[in-house]
Amino acid sequence: MNLKYHNPRKIALDIIIKVIEKGAYANIEIFKSYRKHRYSELDKRFILEIAYGTIKRWNTLDWVLEKFVTKPLDKLQPEVRNILRMGAYQLLYMDRVPPSAACNESVELAKKFGSKGTIKFVNAVLRNISRKYRSIKDLDFPSLSQDPVRHVSLKYSHPEWLVRRWIERYVINGTIEICSYNNKAPEHSIRVNTYLTTVEDFKNLLEREGINFKAGKYCREVLIIEKGFGKLENKEELKKFYIPQSEASALIGCMAEPASGSRVLDACAAPGIKATHLAQLMGNKGEIVALDIHKHRVDLIKGNCWRLDITCIEPRLMDARTAKDHFKEGFDLVLVDAPCSGTGVLNRRADARWRKSPDEIEKMVNLQREILKGVIPLLKSGSPLVYSTCSLEPEENQMQVDWILDNFPELRQQVLKGFVPDENLLWGDKADMFQSLPHIHRLDGFFSVRFVKHP
């Protein structure tokens, strides 16, 4: 670990450039930076806020900068272009940063990359922005009534194609609430490892450590850490008792309801968060075969099993699309937590909204169907299949349910009352679909259904 002091803004700039200009993943670059250098908790939060905020607000920042820069932004030096984005983010979105600091620190960064002319240019652009706008609230966005898609896209920093889709389903107000949810920092939620402890004992432990928390809204195994998450993560001896997981994600495991001693297939298991949840619900008794197509992700499953002292999971490097060719014995439960567009969890992945496209949704639908065809034949008669996504898109959710029922007549969709702790999370005429929605439930967007194989 490098113990030398590093300028948080320079670190944030490096992350932004790697993500926006080179296609790197924001969460991976943040993690790599935290491992490489030593930062105070204050600096960590500052780096995270500037880097994630600038990336999330990318289209809005460019729209503002274009008002003050005469040449196209893509003609600027990449370092300069992103110094301007980062400076504009601080001016418009970070009330705690004085405008003088945002401008001066941006100029200092510009000195590392450009000539005197470049330094003057950066200074002039940012100071002109600070003189005209005190915050993002001062901007005149396109009319909501005349051009709602562009208004929501620019004011709430989401791609227009996605805003258009959501307005068709959730109307304007619902779409604004979803976008607003995505722009907020996600809660630090954890799932208690009830194989090694109880929820009450872990709550008592947190209280002794001075870590503030509250109970989850729906899932009793989930706690929301309100203050002290960094402190908790630094205590290696406590990591076996919990693992970070969103509450909506944890509800998928509750709905699967695996029996102790059963044989389970988790078809798309990495990094093993849901697989380890199934294992603790089974009391670590039975067998969970956890598949992933990438070796490094299989290693993540192994790491989380080791962390939580789970021994009933067998991680395997395998493409779930071919699973039916590799197993002779059937399974008592099959979970397909399918790869998807991830439009329900854009709050957790700063760059994800800019990587999505309508074409990707179509590709995901086809991949999901190939996976389902590869694992459904492995279900024992009378056994359940649980299908889930972290998507808000009907092609990956309700329309996939119709496809499954059309193509696998031996499957019957189950009513979910009793599997989910709150019936407000259930949809459909028969309450046979689970869907958490950010603008209604204040949870990440997850979808799930449960089928049973009949003879």
Give the active site residues: 390
Beta bridge pairs of residue 191? 222, 243
Q: Report the chain's C-alpha Rg in angstroms.
A: 24
Q: For residue 190, which phi and psi values (nearest 5 degrees)?
A: -135, 155
Query: How far is it, in rounded angstroms, from Cα 396 to Cα 202?
Result: 37
List % helix, strand, coil for the chain (3-state, nearest 5): 50, 15, 35
Q: Which residue has the tokens 């779930």?
A: 320
Listed in sequence order, the residues at least 6 apart from 201 whose beta carbon sits closer than 8 Å to its beta carbon are: none
Query: How far is it, in rounded angstroms, from Cα 414 to Cα 94?
Result: 48
Cα dist from 316 to 103, 272, 320, 386, whole Å: 52, 12, 10, 20
Q: Is 138 left (phi over 0), alpha (psi -120 to 50) or beta?
A: alpha
380 DSSP assignment: P
Q: Which residue has the tokens 């950066």?
A: 122
Q: Which residues of 102-112 are buried (b: 16+ CB within 10 A; e: fewer)?
A: bbebbbebbee
Query: How far is it, in rounded angstroms, from Cα 419 to Cα 218?
Result: 12
Torsion over CA: 421, 423, 425, 427 (sign): positive
Query: How far is it, in rounded angstroms, from Cα 155 to Cα 163?
Result: 11
Query: How far is it, in rounded angstroms, from Cα 264 to Cα 59?
Result: 44
Q: Are 272 and 315 spatial neighbours (Cβ–Cβ below 8 Å)?
A: yes
Q: At what angle do helices 358-375 and 398-407 cross, to 10 degrees?
A: 40
Beta bridge pairs of residue 35? none
Nearest-10 Cα torsion for 327, 333, 334, 340: -160
Token pair in block for residue 126: 């940012």
Neighbour count for residue 140 (Cβ, 10 Å): 5
Neighbour count for residue 329 (Cβ, 10 Å): 8
Query: How far is it, in rounded angstroms, from Cα 308 to Cα 399?
Result: 36
